[in-house]
Amino acid sequence: MSEREMRCVICDGDMMFEVPPCSDGHDDCPEMVCTRCGAAEVVAPIVVHWYGAARPRKIAPRQRQAA
């Protein structure tokens, strides 16, 4: 098991975290467990995709006046 020192929010300090045995069968499990209190933390990058509607372009006030 690989160990790493991280901040535990339950213990309120820097504690050793280890990767528990993974039942999924993959080698690089993103879950880590505090060796003191057993709190689990998922260490994985968060990817956010934003597919929002494009905003309509506003017309400048000078262009709205009649000639």
3-state secondary structure the chain: CCEEEEEECCCCEEEEEECCCCCCCCCCCCEEEECCCCCEEECCCCCCCCCCCCCCCCCCHHHHCCC
pLDDT at residue 1 in the model: 55
pTM: 0.55
pLDDT at residue 27 in the model: 67
- pLDDT level of residue 66 (50, 70, 90 thresholds): low
Closest by CA to 3, choosing from 22, 16, 12, is: 16
pLDDT at residue 62 in the model: 65
